[in-house]
């Protein structure tokens, strides 16, 4: 067992263990015993080795009202798990990096608060910047370039753009048949697309969690627009196009609607979590999200429900979904180091599978077994891709 101590006056760490000196961080800096025995240990690491490996830096968002912004539940789970296996994690932001140290935060189980300390540069950085806007900012780009120069590995490299991803996957015969007909939405292709596909979903290329999505339908009397809050009918395509014009200042995709399989009054799709704990992709878990048929999406924040996989699907579904998900993930590899992806995969009334979404930086899965397996897989990935 390693006990870690911190001197607030000197901003230096020390340790107490069976070793006189321990090492941590990318530069393998030394940790000596504390000068006094009266100091309370900050955190304990379960290890009988002469080092803390790996030291993981979790890159979160800057927040003017708090230490950082991001998914604290995931950050806490990582800290709890990695300390059981000889490592340590801390959360930091783009503004907390200095030339010789990083101000990072760990969760103090005694005070139940996130507390800041100075850390050496870690062995690996886990990119959990929470928004596309912040990730595309000059400050974050500079930080990621700086990590590259220091040869400090990090994942996930960035959020995935839906339009770019569709173009990438549509070039590969292995997955092309599983992609619903999709185009960039423009005033010019709105009418011909709806003539060919009377029901379609439109979503922002940089959207997530169902934000900004709406449905279009060609009806006997014109056209119908539906979003999460309301529905509007239009007599002509020009009326519909004029209504959509403000939205099209943002890049949107229009995608053929798929008639999803149903369970009772609910239509459902599959949420697949893939991770790369070693040098190859694995499926960590498959969940099911369902919603009443009149709802636009199956996202839980939008009223979706969680169903047990075993309650609705069978072993043949599992085999087909895993094969498709693993094939898709392998095609994304050349886009950068991604050690985790989530996919939304639907099944229609003919039992055909369809890829709707592929996302980097997955949200926490609500299923406890999948969440715990995902944290364990992350710890393995940190070890696999760390720089020592």
CB atoms within 10 A of CB 219: 11
Which CATH number do you get for residue 48?
3.40.50
Q: Which among 198, 225, 256 is the end of a domain? A: 256
For the stretch 132-176, pLDDT in tens is 889 989 989 999 999 999 899 988 888 888 999 999 999 999 999
Task: Give residues with Cβ within 8 angstroms of 217, minimum separation 6.
Answer: 198, 199, 200, 223, 224, 226
For the stretch 324-370, pLDDT in tens is 999 999 999 877 778 999 999 999 989 999 999 999 888 889 899 99
Q: Which among 256, 283, 306 is the end of a domain? A: 256
Residue 280 has pLDDT above 80, yes or no: yes
Residues 290 and 314 in one domain: yes
| pLDDT on residue 109 | 86
pTM of the predicted structure, to 2 decimals: 0.90
What is the C-alpha to C-alpha distance for residues 130 and 128, in angstroms, rounded to an integer? 6
Question: Mean pLDDT throughout 97-120?
Answer: 93
Tally the domains of the chain.
3
Residues 9 and 123 in one domain: yes
Q: Please, how many CA atoms are within 13 Å of residue 246, restricted to the half-sphere of its CB?
A: 2
Q: How confident is the model at residue 241 (pLDDT cuts 50, 70, 90)?
A: very high
Angstrom CA distances, 252 to 68, 77, 299, 388, stand at 31, 35, 19, 43
Closest CA to 45 of 22, 26, 67: 22
Residue 215 has pLDDT above 90, yes or no: yes
Residues 318 and 186 in one domain: no
Residues 210 and 346 in one domain: no
Q: How confident is the model at residue 207 (pLDDT cuts 50, 70, 90)?
A: confident
What is the C-alpha to C-alpha distance for residues 224 and 128, in angstroms, rounded to an integer? 38
**Mean per-residue pLDDT of the chain:** 91
Distance of CA 307 to the CA centre of its chain: 21
The whole domain housing 70 covers: 2-155
DSSP characters over 263-321: ETTEEEEEEEEEE-SSSS-EEEEEEEEEEETTSS---GGGT-EEE-HHHH--HHHHHHH
| pLDDT on residue 303 | 62
| pLDDT on residue 302 | 63
């Amino acid at each position: 067992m390693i006990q870690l101590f911190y001197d607030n006056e000197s901003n230096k760490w020390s340790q107490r263990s069976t070793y006189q000196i321990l090492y941590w961080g990318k530069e393998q800096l030394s940790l000596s015993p504390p000068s006094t025995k009266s100091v309370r240990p900050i955190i304990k690491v379960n290890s009988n080795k002469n080092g803390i490996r790996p030291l993981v830096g979790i890159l979160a968002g800057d927040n003017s009202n708090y230490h950082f912004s991001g998914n604290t539940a995931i950050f806490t789970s990582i800290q709890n798990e990695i300390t059981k296996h000889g490592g340590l994690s801390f959360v930091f932001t783009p503004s907390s990096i200095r030339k010789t140290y990083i101000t990072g935060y760990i969760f103090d189980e005694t005070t139940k608060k996130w507390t800041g300390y100075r850390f050496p540069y870690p062995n690996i950085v886990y990119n959990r910047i929470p928004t596309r806007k912040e990730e595309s900012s000059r400050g974050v780009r500079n930080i990621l370039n700086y990590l590259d120069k220091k040869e400090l590995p990090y994942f996930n490299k960035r959020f995935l753009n839906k339009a770019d991803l569709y173009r990438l996957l549509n070039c590969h015969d292995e997955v092309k048949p599983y992609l619903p007909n999709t185009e960039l939405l423009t005033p010019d292709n709105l009418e011909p697309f709806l003539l060919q596909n009377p029901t379609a979903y439109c979503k922002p290329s940089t959207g997530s969690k169902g934000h900004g999505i709406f449905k279009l339908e060609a009806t006997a009397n014109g056209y119908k627009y539906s979003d999460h809050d309301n529905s509007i009918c239009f007599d002509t395509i020009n009326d519909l196009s004029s209504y959509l014009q403000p939205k099209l200042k943002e890049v949107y995709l229009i995608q053929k609607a798929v008639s999803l399989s149903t369970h009772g009054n609910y239509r459902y799709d599959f949420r697949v979590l893939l991770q790369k704990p070693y040098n190859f992709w694995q499926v960590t878990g498959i969940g099911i999200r369902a919603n009443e048929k009149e709802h636009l999406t199956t996202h839980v924040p939008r009223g979706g429900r969680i169903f047990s996989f075993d309650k609705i699907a069978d072993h043949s579904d599992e085999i087909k979904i895993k094969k498709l998900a693993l094939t898709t993930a392998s095609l994304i590899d050349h886009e950068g180091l991604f050690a985790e992806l989530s996919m939304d995969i639907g099944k229609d009334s003919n039992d055909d599978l369809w890829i709707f979404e592929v996302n980097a930086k997955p949200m926490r899965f609500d299923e406890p077994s999948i969440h715990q397996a995902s944290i364990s897989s992350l710890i393995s990935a940190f070890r696999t891709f760390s720089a020592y």
